[in-house]
Amino acid sequence: MDKVDSQAGKNVIDSLGGLSEDIGKYIIEFAFGDIYERDILDFKQREMITITSLLTQGDTAPQLRVHINGSLNVGLSREQIIETFIQAIPYVGFPKVLNAVTIAKEVFKARDDK
């Protein structure tokens, strides 16, 4: 597992706060181990798919925060992330896209403030 993705994974698992170590284990082994490590698509494409899926299902603010950071970590630009959200407008409508842009703004600002 690449150290950038590993960080994204750790952030999610830390949010579990030790309540269920098994869920954290499944995320590490299945989501980041089995799935992210596959061929055919690179990390940029995988993160683009992930943030699209999170945006589309809604009620995923904490996960979008992790994976917008993850998207930047694997090399997607801020413009590409926002453009990914814009591409979703005809398929999901404006509200979910606006919610995702709001979270992206917070993530971008937090990185600028560091």
Site residues for a copy of itself per CB under 8 A = 12, 15-17, 19-20, 22-23, 26-27, 30-31, 34-35, 38, 40-41, 45-46, 48-50, 52-60, 62-63, 79-80, 82-99, 101-102, 104-105, 108
Closest CB to a copy of itself among 6 and 87? 87
Q: Which residue has the tokens 């993160």?
A: 47
Nearest-angstrom CA–CA distance, 69 and 12: 12
Amino acid at 64: L
CB 43 within 8 A of CB 8: no
Closest CB to a copy of itself among 62 and 75? 62
Q: What are phi and psi of 73, to 5 degrees?
A: -65, -35
Tell me how far, at minimum, the Cβ of 62 lies from a copy of itself, in Å: 7
